[in-house]
Amino acid sequence: MLGHLEVNPIMTPRSAPAAIEAQGLEKTYGASVRALDGVSFTVPRGTIFGLLGPNGAGKSTTVKILTTLSRPDAGSASVAGVNVLKHPSEVRRVIGCVAQKNGVDLEASARENLALQGRLYGMHGTDTRRRVDELLARFELSRDADRPARTFSGGMLRKLGVALGLVHRPAVLFLDEPTTGLDPVARSDVWAEIRRLAREDGVSVLLTTHYLDEADHFVDRLAIIDAGRVVTEGTPDHLKSELRGDAIHVALDAESSLDAGRQALSRLNGRLRDLSIEGTTLHARVDDGPSAVPNVLALLDGAGARVRTVTVSRPSLDDVYLKHTGRTFGAAARSSCNPRTSPRAICERCGASRCTW
C-alpha cells in the first residue's frame, strides 16, 4: 500500500480471515458533520492495532460501526470474517467491547459486575463463576472483588472495564481510549494486560488512542486517522522510516518575522524538505541534522529572525503526523479541544487550563 514490501509482525495463515476489515466507511451526523470520509484498514489476526488520531478524528465512530452500535452511510466491514452489516448479532458474539466510558455498575462489586456480564452473554453457573475468578485473578482484583466498584481507583475501574469485555472469551477486543485519564503506573498495568491478551491468548485487539508514545511503543500496527480519513498505516517503525533523515524544529522569538525566516531557509532548498510553519515554529527535515544546524542558524540570523531553540531528532510519530496532515499532533489536539468553561484541570489532551473536553 505504501510502496514498500512489509512483513506483518505476526503472520497469519493465508486462508484465515483478518481480525477486522474496514472498507470505505463513511458516516455523516446530521446535515454536515462528516465524521468518517472513507475509512479503510485491515487488522491482521493476533495483533494489537492502534487507531491514532486527535479528538474528533473519527476513532469512536469507527469503533461504534465495527461493534455494530452504529451503521455507516456507505462502506463495508467484517470482524473475524463475519459481515458487520449483514450479521450484527453474530459479530456481537465474537467481540468484546470496552467503550470510552466503560459500563461498570459502580454500586455493584467487581464480582457482581462480571457475573452479570456473563449472564448477559448466556453463560451459566459454574462456567461463569470459574471465568469470573479467572479474570479477577488475572487483573489483580481478587482481593477487592466484593466491595462496591465506586471505591475503586481509576486504574482498577479501567481494568474491571477491560475484564468485562473479556467475560465471554471474545476473539476480537475493541478498546476505545483504554488508558485516557490514567496515571502512568495504571497505564502501564493496562498495557501489560493488553499485550498479554494478544501474545498469550491470541486475542486480536483494536484500540484507539490519542497518545503518540503509546502508539509508538505498544501497538504492532497503526492507522493514523485525521478528519475521518486514514492518512497512513503501517508499523510504527515503518511509518517513521519513511521519513528520511532527521527532523529539525526551530522555535523563533515571537517578534521574529516568520516569512523572512522561511524565505531565508528556502535557500537551503533541496537540503531541507517538507518545510512548514506552525505558530512561531519552523519544522523541516534534513539528511544530516547536526551538520545543517550552523547553516540554518546563519541564514535565520541574516534574515533578522531570532531563534529561541533548535531541536534535531530522529523522526517521531509526530513528524509522521505532520507530514501527512500539515500540522503537529499537539496543534491538532489544541484546535479540537474546547478551553472554555471547566475551571478545574489542565486538559490532558491539549494542555489548556480550562478545557471542557
Ligand X SMILES: Nc1ncnc2c1ncn2[C@@H]1O[C@H](COP(=O)(O)OP(=O)(O)O)[C@@H](O)[C@H]1O
- Contact residues for ligand X, defined by CB under 6 A: 29-30, 33, 35, 53, 55-61
H or E segment and range at residue 165: helix 154-166
Given a contact cutoff of 8 angstroms between Cβ atoms, the answer to whether 333 and 349 are in contact is yes
Q: Of ligand X, Mg ion, none, which one does residue 343 interact with (CB within 5 to 8 Å by kind)?
A: none
Decide: is 113 part of the binding site for Mg ion (CB under 5 A): no
Tell me the closest approach of the beta carbon of residue 216 to ligand X, in angstroms: 18
Q: Of Mg ion, ligand X, none, which one does residue 61 interact with (CB within 5 to 8 Å by kind)?
A: ligand X
Grid coordinates standing for 220?
Answer: 504492532
Question: In the beta sheet, which residues pair with residue 244?
Answer: none
Tell me the closest approach of the beta carbon of residue 165 to Mg ion, in angstroms: 16
Q: What does 271-339 look like in DSSP terms, one character per residue?
A: TEEEEEEETTEEEEEESSHHHHHHHHHHHHHHTTPPEEEEEEES--HHHHHHHHHSS-HHHHHHHHS--
Q: Of Mg ion, ligand X, none, which one does residue 33 interact with (CB within 5 to 8 Å by kind)?
A: ligand X
Q: Which of 4, 51, 38 is nearest to 206 (CA)?
A: 51
Tell me the closest approach of the beta carbon of residue 60 to Mg ion, in angstroms: 3
Compare residues 32 and 341 and give the one whose CB is closer to ligand X. Answer: 32
Tell me the closest approach of the beta carbon of residue 100 to Mg ion, in angstroms: 5
Compare residues 99 and 108 and give the one whose CB is closer to ligand X. Answer: 99
Tell me the closest approach of the beta carbon of residue 20 to ligand X, in angstroms: 16
Give the whole-angstrom CA distance, residue 282 versus residue 185: 35
Compare residues 79 and 284 and give the one whose CB is closer to ligand X. Answer: 79
Q: Of ligand X, Mg ion, none, which one does residue 113 interact with (CB within 5 to 8 Å by kind)?
A: none
- Residue number of the CB atom closest to Mg ion: 60
- Distances in Å between the Cα of 158 and the Cα atoms of 99, 223, 353 are 10, 24, 25
Compare residues 35 and 172 and give the one whose CB is closer to ligand X. Answer: 35
Q: Of Mg ion, ligand X, none, which one does residue 155 interact with (CB within 5 to 8 Å by kind)?
A: none
Tell me the closest approach of the beta carbon of residue 343 to Mg ion, in angstroms: 24
Compare residues 177 and 193 and give the one whose CB is closer to Mg ion. Answer: 177
Give the whole-angstrom CA distance, residue 174 versus residue 162: 9
- Any residues with CB less than 8 A from the CB of 118 and at least 6 apart, and which? 127, 128, 131, 132, 167, 168
Site string for Mg ion, 47-86 (x = CB under 5 A): ------------xx--------------------------
Compare residues 45 and 59 and give the one whose CB is closer to Mg ion. Answer: 59
Tell me the closest approach of the beta carbon of residue 200 to Mg ion, in angstroms: 28
Tell me the closest approach of the beta carbon of residue 56 to Mg ion, in angstroms: 8
Question: In the beta sheet, which residues pair with residue 221?
Answer: 49
Q: Which of 2, 5, 13, 6 is nearest to 46 (CA)?
A: 13
Looking at the chain, the number of H-run helices and the number of E-run strands are 12, 14
Compare residues 128 and 208 and give the one whose CB is closer to Mg ion. Answer: 208
Compare residues 56 and 234 and give the one whose CB is closer to ligand X. Answer: 56
Q: Of ligand X, Mg ion, none, which one does residue 55 interact with (CB within 5 to 8 Å by kind)?
A: ligand X
Question: In the beta sheet, which residues pair with residue 76?
Answer: 23
Grid coordinates standing for 2?
Answer: 505504501
Q: Give the total of residues touching Mg ion (CB under 5 A).
A: 2
Compare residues 207 and 320 and give the one whose CB is closer to ligand X. Answer: 207
Give the whole-angstrom CA distance, residue 235 versus residue 49: 9
Tell me the closest approach of the beta carbon of residue 168 to ligand X, in angstroms: 25
Cβ neighbours, 10 Å, residue 27 = 22
Chain residues binding Mg ion by CB under 5 A are: 59-60
